[in-house]
A and B are shown apart, each in its own frame.
Chain A
């Protein structure tokens, strides 16, 4: 551990962008095992980068696709006629985006220190155990049999819980909140997300109806003129 820490404490600002990127990606390993320390430095010492966060989100999308494609039939059976890659990606990106915006919006009103960028980076770093878990169980699912399926479910549950705990730690550190306040605001964030999704649906429906009105108007005029 000590060697890794000394390598990381080298000033990153002057080095080339890709070195900074690689270092910030590698830093996720430190965050996984030292969440409090790691998340503090992630934003306050600028150890994390948006580039690395983007990388993790892209990895999350790719993992989802790999999971669909390569998980053994014993553990996941995919109804391919109904699978749409864009839908799959949107179904991950939309909640992520809405979560970041809602969390930032709420915490800003209640003394949260984190910026939108901080929330995004922390959330993305918190996803790392989940991604690694998924990447482990995909090959594993092709080695084990159904009777050994508990390995599969244990790893997947364990890494998911790990990610959730990291998310809580991350929120504590970037907003400088207590644990109780963090949990409260995570619940509030979920409620806010529901409201946002409701408003989005309402908006889209209304816009759809509005456009439909003009389309039918155009059709009617077209019909009369002919």
Chain B
């Protein structure tokens, strides 16, 4: 017994020595801060793609009031715009090496309208020319200001019959296009993006999600009484939570309203890319749907940070790579243009790279900016690994297949768990007509579509190389049976004769 105790103690000591190494990497980042999923939806550790470079809190900006429940974030060039919602103002910042400086505090403007201040501004969009579109939530309007803060136009509650006149117009998110049209999301409006022309007139909705009735729902509603029906969940389209524009002018929207079953079956579509007539054209060719985490504990709405990923914002980087911000586990999920998960990172917490209540994400080049409702802005910068992935994807998109394969090989050297890297190398090999090698890489990543394509081409090669042999075999098969019959007949005749 005593021996056993001693042994246990020895093991515990060993464990203590080994523990720090097992819990945290040398640089203080937790293991599996960044991860991906493989084909089997198993979580796979990944090298960090992003690291927090700066954490800017309200206090460090040196302005009275700091940041109070900020909601909106926008980046145009070097300028960062934050809707400091709780302080009824918009801050314009510029990053410095170690922090950020306030360029402008926008809390009022001039012009022939009233009021000339904001009330809970929720979101902002800035055009190339510097015109500001601000979703002035509690003033029930979207205001357009020029770069010197002169009022130009207000977009107010549509007087159209399609807009429920009993609810007030509470714009929460918006984007604008080059010609000055505004596409806004308003609280309690579930018909999609509210579209205003450049002159302020309302011209309809874009991209309302279709209401889905299953046969089960229909039967259930048929059997229930009028009172029960009233109490049931109304069958209404989902409301979008945020909207962003990509380089080509398509809308990326996110929604947090869905059932877990729809999520797993791919029908929830929590991230959508809408074209001008509101169809979802997001490519989901990955081995899983674009739903963030693929594994989660059963959702319990009473516990925060449990259940499936719920996206609050999205930002689209170069080469149609997009990052979605999840408010369940406060993670960021990166997807490529085909819908393959590139990485997931982040988490709940107060340290760098973790978030309390993230509400908005934007990008500046390849850097990511994440706004936390708790009153901070985190700037994350891609690591060497992250940059390599961007480089490899970009090279492939530009048709530089050999360079892309070389970059993917470098990625693979850092992360052997990364299916996209195998597929990337395979696709580059396919372009170089090295079908057999391509097949090997596709097989590793269990990518059957690409594998099939490589095999089709390889098979064609095999047939072409052996065309003589194949013709010979066919000829032999055609000629041999009658020939054999003839020979047998001759033998038989010889035997008869003898």
A residues contacting B by CB (< 8 A) are: 73-74, 77, 79, 143, 145-147, 226
Contact = CB atoms under 8 A, between A and B. Distances in A.
Interface of B: 1, 39-40, 443, 446, 448-449, 451-453, 455-456, 459
A106 B477 CA distance: 53
A73 B448 contact: yes
B1 A146 contact: no
B448 A146 contact: yes
Given A79-B40, A145-B456, A73 B451 contact: yes
Contacts of A77: 39, 446, 448
Nearest to A147: B452
Q: Which of B443, B446, B452, B456 has the most CB of A within 10 A?
A: B452
What does DSSP make chain B's interface, helix, strand, loop or mixed? helix
A74 B451 contact: yes
A146 B446 contact: no
What does DSSP make chain A's interface, helix, strand, loop or mixed? loop
A226 B459 CA distance: 73
A226 to B, nearest CB: 7
Given A74-B448, A143-B459, A145-B453, 20 more contacts: A73-B443, A73-B446, A73-B448, A73-B451, A74-B451, A74-B452, A74-B455, A77-B446, A77-B448, A79-B40, A145-B452, A145-B455, A145-B456, A145-B459, A146-B448, A146-B449, A146-B451, A147-B452, A147-B456, A226-B1
- Top 9 nearest A-B pairs (CB, nearest first) are A146-B452, A74-B448, A145-B452, A145-B456, A77-B446, A74-B452, A79-B40, A73-B443, A145-B455
A182 to B, nearest CB: 34
Contacts of B40: 79
A74 B451 CA distance: 7
A79 B1 CA distance: 43
Contacts of B455: 74, 145
Contacts of A143: 459
A73 B445 CA distance: 10
A205 B448 CA distance: 42
Q: Which of B39, B40, B448 has the most CB of A within 10 A?
A: B448
Nearest to A82: B40
12 contacts: A73-B443, A73-B448, A73-B451, A74-B448, A74-B452, A77-B39, A143-B459, A145-B453, A146-B448, A146-B452, A147-B456, A226-B1
Contacts of B452: 74, 145-147
Q: Which of A77, A143, A146 has the most CB of B within 10 A?
A: A146
Q: Which of A73, A77, A146, A226 has the most CB of B within 10 A?
A: A73
Nearest to A142: B455
Contacts of A147: 452, 456
Contacts of A74: 448, 451-452, 455
